[in-house]
Structure 1
Amino acid sequence: MSDRFALTGARIFDGDDWHDNAALVVNGDVVEAILPAGALPSGVTPVDTGGGLLAPGFVDIQVNGGGGVMLNDHPDVASIETICRAHAPFGTTALLVTLITDTPAITTAAITAGTEAAREKVAGFLGLHLEGPHLSIARKGAHDPALIRPMTDADQAALIGLRRDLPVLLTTIAPESVDVSRVTALAKAGVIVSLGHSDTGYETANAFAVAGATVVTHLFNAMSQIGNREPGLAGTAIDVGSLSAGIIADGIHVHPATMILALRAKQGPGKIVLVTDAMATIGTDMTSFTLNGRTVYRKDGSLRLADGTLAGADLDMISAVRFVHRVVGLELAEALRMASLYPAQAIGQAHRLGRFANGTAADIVGLTDELDVSGVWIGGEKVFAA
């Protein structure tokens, strides 16, 4: 295919508005323009999509695994490539591979793999999300409590150093384990700080937002809840406009009515964004896997430890989009924004991801009218065709 081509025959959503009878012009690895279908310039190869719709590729800021592997169990570049490939057929064109709280040795290996994947420009790899180990044991979820610990000067310095080697670095921390001054230092260095796995109250959570935290990890899960006299971290995420918040839209982690209430109440400019919190099962028929030496069982759409604790999600991004559109009742455009534009904004990448405009990444998902994925392009290269 020519380096300059145009996808035609589909309705186009550019991240803000819809375009009918239009063509999406791609030049190399970037979007050039959206033009009337009958007004393509010479030298542009038309490619008929056969109908459906085109939208900016999905951006997932919390992906623990896929294709049968977990970063925790296989912290190497090959696993990062496998995870990215596994999520592409579900519309995800950029993701943060996530490391769940682990030993210092595993963490070091994962960081090394992440920096090498960035150097090799692994397709779909956007950076790392280090979820822990600086969390609250009271809200540990599936994290091994023996590995949770406070952040030290050395930890802070390592995160700041790592940020220089990655396009995006996000870390989930709990105020119980991190001094607020560290958040300011991390944010100034370009590390995205997310609050999660915490039993903290509104006053403290708001102070951390003022200090530089800008994201909340999987809203309503593993955090203090909204009460009549204490809004908790969940209430802070909704009330404080500078915070974006990930949400797992599988109908298991958060009730649809709770999602509706949160979406109605969320103060901006921060948004609620879709995350999968996906594990090794995505793209496979496996029924179990291990996490920190413990077996996680796949059954009835959920992933759980032997004691019933939820351990990530058996969720892909297009399923999350369909859920918030069909079950929660959002307009399709807003559901798509929650999977692309809003997460891109949350991690400071909206200049190139989450929308179609001159110079943005040619990361594209093609969908049928039934919202099945028909094709995926990363950097102008087609990586999946149904």
Structure 2
Amino acid sequence: MGHAGSSSLTIAARHIFDGADMRGPGSVRISQGRIESITFGEATARASIQLPADAILAPGFIDIQVNGGGGVLLNDQPTEAGVRRIVEAHRKAGTTGCLPTLITDRGEVIERLAAAAEASLKIPGVLGFHLEGPALNRSRKGIHPEAEIRVPARRDLAAIKSFGGRGRSMVTLAPECVPASMIDELIGAGLRIAAGHSDATAAEIGQAVDRGVSGVTHLFNAMSQLSARAPGLVGAALDDDRLFAGIICDGIHVDRAALRVAFRCKGRDRLMLVTDAMPLVGTNDRQFMLQGRPITLRENRLTGPDGTLAGAHLTMIEAVRNAVALLGIALVDALIMASRTPAAFLGLESELGRIAPGYRADLVAFNPNFEVVGTWIGGAGAMDDASEASQRG
């Protein structure tokens, strides 16, 4: 279902989630990549696209942590072509905006991605980049290569700071492992900062938030935990309403009771669904190499040779489905955590995450079995076919 090159189209659906409420039937008129109007009622005969009767039209999913997909790990292919493969694999699962994520690596890998960043931002669906590391705490390294974990020196810092002018990019770091002035410098460059892979105390996190740290990377995983007199990063994240928190809702990384606690504390306006996806998404492969180590997929669980979890085998539509099933929440809450909330974290809340006049026409349609039946980025459509994903409406 194309209309990829047309400057205007109308999508009719019986069920429309507008970013706040489930409504419908109605139709969404798109012109020059933006939503022109939404009309509710049955007068949809003139629509260019009539969605299946059971389909839900919703704001497209935004994934702020995606390491790979389509057989590509960003660290191995920090190029425009590599980014395109990752983005197209995730688009099939409803992701219309993402931050391709580079985990801790050598300086030249960061520089290669920096060199490709501007061209990569022109790929439909790329909102910016996520540098997860290298300034992490070795004691909470997870699968990151210990040898490359470091406080960035001047050359590293210059490459990292260049992402501040590349869309809405972010850096995950352990605040206790870097000088406070470095946090100021990164934020000053235009980057968003998330605490993660960190052993920080709650007090250290509070100081970092006062400096402008605004996110938490994969809540509960690879961080200081909550206990009675040492609330840690988990406690600080649950307690501080200023912090947005990503969470991996695959039923493996975080127990469902912990997921529900996080939802009760943070709510749909601060908790964000992320995939932390690896290259096997969108392939039939069972293994890939991560910085020289074999990572194996068994029963949806990705692990390294020593059993350490190595990212997730997850897509955004699966994360939405899991959130409804594991947290027992309403579908609208899961959809908000998949689009409106990450848009707000990225400072794009007036552009993305709602179906409203003036918003960008980044949309997903899916059925009650959580199968994606169509995506549109800037009004350019792809239905069961990613070949149109490279065209802009």
Task: Give the SS at the match of 1:99.
Answer: strand
Match of residue 23 from structure 1: 27
Distance 1:74 1:154, change over 3 A: closer
Secondary structure, in 3 states, of the residue corresponding to 2:118? helix
CA contact (8 A) 2:57 2:364 kept: yes
Please say if 1:315 is aligned against 2:286: no
**In 2, distance between residues paired with 1:224 and 1:352?**
35
Whole-Å separation in 2 of the counterparts to 1:10 and 1:371? 16
- The amino acid across from 2:80 in the alignment is V
**2:96 and 2:125 in contact (8 A); partners too:** yes
Amino acid in structure 1 at the alignment position of 2:311: G
Contact 1:15 1:55 in 2 (8 A): yes
Q: 73, 78, 94: which one pairs with 1:75?
A: 78
Where does residue 262 of structure 1 map in the other structure? Answer: 262
Cα deviation digits, residues 228-265 of structure 1 (max 9, x gap): 10110011111111110000000000001111011112
- Stretches of structure 2 lacking an aligned partner (at least 5 in a row): 386-393
Tell me: CA distance 1:177–1:155, structure 2 relative to 1, closer, same or farther (3 Å).
Answer: farther
Aligned partner of 2:134 in structure 1 is 133
Cα distance in 2, alignment partners of residues 139 and 384 from structure 1: 41
Shift in Å, 1:280: 0.2
Matches within 5 A, 1:17-166: 17-38=21-42, 45-51=47-53, 52-118=55-121, 121-164=122-165, 166=166
Distance in structure 1 (CA, Å) of the matches to 2:48 and 2:328: 35
Question: 1-side partners of 2:162 and 2:71: how far apart?
Answer: 31
Q: Secondary structure at the match of 1:374?
A: strand
Is the CA contact (8 Å cut-off) linking 2:69 and 2:86 kept in structure 1? yes
Look up the match of 2:191.
191
Q: Deviations over 1:131-179 (max 9, x none)?
A: 0011000000000000001133444443333322x11110001123211
Moved more, 296-305 or 186-195: 186-195
- How many Å separate the matches in 2 of 1:18 and 1:315? 25
* Structure 2 equivalent of residue 243 of structure 1: 243
Contact 2:18–2:354 (CA under 8 A) maintained in structure 1: yes
Q: 1:53 to 1:40 in 2, by over 3 A?
A: closer
User: TM-score scaled by structure 2?
Assistant: 0.93
Question: Partners in 1 of 2:383 and 2:218 — Cα distance?
Answer: 28
Aligned residue in 2 for 1:4: 8
Q: What is residue 358 of structure 1 aligned with on the other side?
A: 357
Native 8 Å contact 2:351 2:360 kept in 1: yes
Question: Which aligned pairs between 1:331-342 and structure 2 lie closer than 5 A?
Answer: 331-342=330-341
1:101 and 1:131 in contact (8 A); partners too:
yes
Cα pair 2:135 2:152 within 8 Å, conserved: yes
Distance 1:9 1:193 in 2: 38
Instruction: Give the Cα separation in 1 of the matches to 2:353 and 2:373.
Output: 18
Structure 1 distance, partners of 2:176, 2:150, is: 10
Where structure 1 has 5 or more consecutive residues not aligned to the other structure, the ranges are: none
Match of 2:389 in 1: none
Structure 1 residue aligned with 2:203: 203
Q: What's 1:226 paired with? A: 226
Distance 1:210 1:295 in 2: 40
- Could you say what the CA RMSD is over the residues aligned between the two structures, in angstroms? 1.7
For 1:373 and 1:88, locate their aligned partners in 2 and report how far apart those are by CA, in whole Å: 9
- The amino acid of 2:333's aligned partner reads E
Contact 1:241–1:267 (CA under 8 A) maintained in structure 2: no
The Cα of 1:282 is off from its aligned counterpart by 0.4
Identity of aligned residues (%): 41
Q: Deviation at 1:367?
A: 1.0
Give the drift of 1:45.
4.4
Distance 1:174 1:185 in 2: 15
Contact 1:238–1:267 (CA under 8 A) maintained in structure 2 = no
Q: 1:8·1:37 contact (CA, 8 Å) conserved in 2?
A: no
Distance 2:278 2:44 in 1: 42
Are 2:329 and 1:330 aligned?
yes
Secondary structure in 1 matching 2:327:
coil
User: CA-to-partner distance for each residue in 1:3-37, whole Å, 9 max, x for gaps?
Assistant: 22211133100111122121111112111111124
Preserved CA contact (<8 Å) 1:159 1:191: no
